[in-house]
Amino acid sequence: MTNSLGFLLAARRCEIDELDQLARTSELVSTIGRLVHALQRERGLSNVFLGSGGRRYAAERQAQVAESLQREAQVRAALDPLVNDPRRLAGGARLFPRVAYALQGLDALPALRQRVQSLALSPEMAMAAFVRLLSALLAVVFEAADGATDPDISRWLVALFNFMQGKEFAGQERAFGVAAFLRGGNDDVQRQHWLHLIESQERCFRVFRDFSNEALRARWHAGASAVQLAELERLRRIGCTSPAGTVLDANLGPQWFEACTQRIDAMQAVEDALAEELRALCGRKVAQARAELQRDEALKMGNSVQSGHFFAEAPSAEPAALPGTGYGRQLEHSVLQLVQEQSQRLQAMNDELQQVRATLNERKVVERAKGLLMAHRHLSEEEAHKMLRQTAMNQNRRLVDVAESVLAMADFLPRGAPH
């Protein structure tokens, strides 16, 4: 007959299955991260190639395309087993539509590369196409973080996602700056977009700092030298703070690209360390759960426990052994202790997980509010974000609270209202 210990063991096995799924999800996220880094570099080189009329970085771009193809093959190889065995990863019902959309973007890459090679696109058009693809890949990482059921692993996935998103904004800044220098200037809207990319990076890196550990924060700060950062800031000031109408030196384009690349490569080293920490954490969690399962299985003799003892008064004397077992009521006590320990642990995990997920939920609320403002007020993404941020500052409220207020008014906003 099935007893309480049998269900405790089943719960342990379920926990191990979930941790195994999270470990595989974390490995997929790491593989996607390497592809994202390769595509970010390809995007930057493509912008220099297009902005210079095909005269700069032609060979470097071709070499980068080859690396991107290699990284793409690794991602596809990691995804292939999931089609026939979707339970290998947790949260497939939410995660797999994101994967499908990202694969559509990857399928369209050959045509995009051909148009870049034939100089049939402007740098801005090429950048927009790469941004859509990279956003789709990062959405897979976001969904993985949002679906994690272990709070410790969830924290690391949140840190990793925000660092990857910050690095993506840095990559967009690299490509945008290249285009600005090569075309010879910015108008007011373009300068505001550049500043928006800088602010977005800092916002993501703040979340990374909150959710990572001291060693990784120190590695992040030590990633780029003071000389490299000074050069980057010098070029930033030239590019995005010069008044409208200022003519930018096109020869600064490659210098800007190299300065940004040094910084982004240093970011990749931190991202790799984040991914390695995540893999190690998953390994420790799985090993610990398996050890606890082995400990609990040592109580399998408990099939001789008499269920009536559960409601009995605590004995005043040492309990007699149950016939033929040699364990007596000590076994019953052990099972009840396991139930209590597991219940307390699961409650603590749930409480911590809710705190971690609050950060992801805030992001989703803000993104939905931005989308609503973009649709109803005909704003760009940065204009919508600026409106939310300015309102929050004026009213001394949190950004997410303002976003929730905007969503609460959704039914009262006429669609297509003029800006």
Between CA 403 and CA 419 the distance in angstroms is 19
Residues in the chain: 419
pLDDT at 326: 41
Between CA 330 and CA 227 the distance in angstroms is 67
Between CA 272 and CA 274 the distance in angstroms is 5
Confidence band of 417 (pLDDT split at 50, 70, 90): very low
Amino acid at 380: S
Q: For the chain, what are the domain ranges?
A: 4-287, 338-414
Per-residue pLDDT, averaged over 273-302, amounts to 83
pLDDT at 414: 56
Query: What mean pLDDT value characterizes the chain?
Result: 82
pLDDT at 373: 83
pLDDT at 403: 83
Between CA 286 and CA 288 the distance in angstroms is 5
Question: Is residue 190 scored above 80 in pLDDT?
Answer: yes
Per-residue pLDDT, averaged over 67-71, amounts to 97
Question: Is residue 340 scored above 70 in pLDDT?
Answer: no
Range in 133-142, 193-202, 266-275, 388-397 the model is least confident about: 388-397
Which CATH number describes the domain made up of 338-414?
Answer: 1.10.10.10
Per-residue pLDDT, averaged over 220-230, amounts to 83
**Which residues are CB-neighbours of 174 under 8 A, at least 6 positions away?**
40, 44, 256, 257, 260, 261, 264
Question: Is residue 219 scored above 80 in pLDDT?
Answer: yes
Question: Is residue 261 scored above 70 in pLDDT?
Answer: yes
Contact 179, 193 (CB under 8 A): no
Question: Is residue 333 scored above 60 in pLDDT?
Answer: no
Confidence band of 318 (pLDDT split at 50, 70, 90): very low
Q: Of 7-11, 65-69, 288-292, give the range with the top mean pLDDT.
A: 65-69
